[in-house]
Structure 1
Amino acid sequence: MPRDDRYWFPAKRYGWGWGPPNNWQGWAVLVGFVALVVVAAAITLPHAPARFIGCVVVLGVLLTAVCWWKGEPPRWRWGGD
């Protein structure tokens, strides 16, 4: 699969969605997402597990929005293209 630096998140070879980041911007977004999930766990899990789940859902929606905005257009792929 040729690398396209225009997209931070390239499409997966099989299936629908995005694969690992292509460049430093994508990696920064992914590391930021993981860091925020860890911080949310440290702050909310001991006292309010439901709040942690809410934080993870919101962060997941934001990550998906960034992937949609800065990633390769998603479509179903069978590996041949």
Structure 2
Amino acid sequence: MTKDDVIDHFRVEPGYWFVPKLFGIGATPVTWQGWTLTLGFSILLVLDIVFMPEPIARVGVGIALAVAFLTICIRKTQGGWRWHWGLGK
């Protein structure tokens, strides 16, 4: 694995906001849209935790936010989500 291989891994085609993680499952934001989505999700989740009065409502809203966030992440990840063991194809 060279430096250029890693740099190429973090380049995305137009329309994608995330790349798969190098190891494990998940995605990393690589465009301003991906970073904005991630930051917005984080802020909304903190606001939910701080201001929702009922624990059941807090959990429900948190789950709804997480499902929406993950759905967008999966659809906007170049190459989709699967387990990765580095840059090997």
Q: Normalising TM by the smaller chain, what interval?
A: 0.7 to 0.9
Query: Gaps spanning 5+ residues in structure 2: where?
Result: 1-5
Matched to 1:54, the amino acid is: G
* 1:52-71 alignment, distance < 5 Å: 52-71=58-77
Matched to 1:62, the amino acid is: A
TM-score by length of 1: 0.84
Calculate the aligned-residue CA RMSD, in Å: 1.4
Q: Which residue of 2 aligns with 1:39?
A: 47
Q: Which has the higher strand share?
A: 2
TM-score by length of 2: 0.77
Deviations 1:13-71 (A, max 9, x none): 1112212x101100110111011112212321xx3111111111111000111111111
* 1:1-81 alignment, distance < 5 Å: 1=6, 2=8, 3-6=10-13, 7-19=16-28, 21-44=29-52, 47-72=53-78, 73-81=80-88
Query: Gaps spanning 5+ residues in structure 1: where?
Result: none
Residue identity over aligned pairs, in percent, reads 32
**Runs of 4+ residues deviating >2 angstroms:** none
